[in-house]
Structure 1
Amino acid sequence: MEVVVVLLVILAVLGLIVLSSSVKVVKQYERGVIYRWGRVNRLPKEPGPRFLVPFIDRMTKVNMQVVTMPVPSQEGITRDNVSVRVDAVLYFRVVDPIRATVDVQNYQFAMLQVAQTSLRSIIGKSDLDDLLSGREQLHEGLELMLATPAAGWGVHIDRVEIKDVALPESMKRSMARQAEADRERRARIITADGELQASQKLSEAARTMDANPAALQLRLLQTVVEVAAEKNSTLVMPFPVEMLRFFDRAGAGTGAANDKPAAAAAPPAVAPADPQPAVEPADERAELPKSVGPQIPDPRSSEE
């Protein structure tokens, strides 16, 4: 009796083990591929609990989520002979789990290798400017190059993007000098254009002030007001030459008007009388009287 009980317990344990091994749970983001006697079932299993025939069926789960795969940096030479290192990011997902498990041994490794070779190929076909600024077209080209083999493996390419472009230091310095020279050129052009516009406006203002001298005086007063607003103790006011000319012309016109009647009433000029003969100066060579010095007595005469 005890032996029967032991056998029943052993059978129950084996039944539980077999039952647990025959029941599989497929998650929502997975699909199950069933192999029965080594032959694949063409209908993948949907999410939920699935019962398998013990020791006959084998199930492989395939992830249907989007896979983000970084592509290692690939070094290449562009079409304009510049050495660069480019890395990218690949986004793909499995759409046919049967083909992804049967037609290719490891679809993720296969996609990585294809992405690397396609990236090196796109580097050699592109210019440096395209790698730096025209990446949208490169992304489309990479996607087309990867879509052809991926379709045969049951994989759909969502998108491919170039993440970074590494340039040599010498090329970076050359590009920096080029950008600096271009900015300096544009700055000079803008400055010259500003000078041209300012000269045109100043020329128009000069013609207006020349036609209306009062405008020059008003401008001078405005300048005085602007300088006085600084509250300086000393005010240096420039006096324009045009204003002096204006006053000169005004004074010349008034003087000419006053001189006309005086010239009409002036009497006729009288001839001057004969001049008196000039007295000739004394002869400078005449001898002047010599001054007589004091007489010194002779000491011998005093002794006598």
Structure 2
Amino acid sequence: MIGFMLAVFGTALFSLKSIFIKFLYAEGLNTDSVITLRMAISLPIYLGIFIWLQKRSDDRSYRSFLPMIAFLGFIGYFLSSWLDLKGLEMISAQLERLTLFTYPIMVAILGAIFFKTPLSRAVIWSLLMTYSGLMLVFVEELNFSGEDTVFGTLMVFLAALSFSFYVLFGKQVISKIGSQMFTSLAMSISSVFVLLYFGLFHDFSQLDVSSKAWFWLVMLAVFSTVVPSYMIAEAIHKIGPAQTGIIGSLGPVMTMGMAVWLLHEPFTSYHLAGLLLVVFGVGILTKAKP
């Protein structure tokens, strides 16, 4: 139950991410500046928690996992985040969140490929339904945004694929060193990757951030990055990546509601049909799982 609640609240906070980023784009920031400032704010928090965890325990077994943690941090919170934010420049928050939803499908498929995890009939049917819902919204968005929708959706799809590797293989490391230590290290390392990337290809002195943008950046970094990252990692530890991914499917419902309310994005009958398919797909999984 604790793992379930962590997954639900972590998903809810992550669902606000798209909304905060859209507000930041409206303030004149772009993908590179948002991801850099987001991780720059987050890094001291993650390092502080890492130091605190070190003082609480003499266990240094995490050192043998540092190469794997660095790889997972790179694909899970640098590459995946960059692709996601780039896609969000071109598509609505609703379509972005629904596309990210495909990562539980990828986790299940990758689990079957790498770990021989069986795919039950209920899982297959529910995932087919959620994909159908995604396609309905995608086709409708094409009518509003045109060709940019295709490229933007592809970017977010690749972000979901990258994150699915993080979820699947992160479980192995989390079980060895604990979710808090893993999250602190993975996010700290990914923050360093982001800062190095920006330093190599951009000029920090050219960043122009308004006071309102700083407010949204803090909200994004703390409440849609730091807090839910620990929640999701602990949920993966307690209930596994597959079930965490299934609960994560509620994220599109939350994001779509907030996008319509706060961003005034269009919500047509196609959006409603896609949303209902997602909800019904989640319902099948919930009923099938004791």
More strand, by proportion: 1
Which structure is richer in relative contact order (CA contacts within 8 A, separation 6 or more)? 2
More helix, by proportion: 2
Q: TM-score, normalised by structure 2?
A: 0.20
Q: TM-score, normalised by structure 1?
A: 0.19
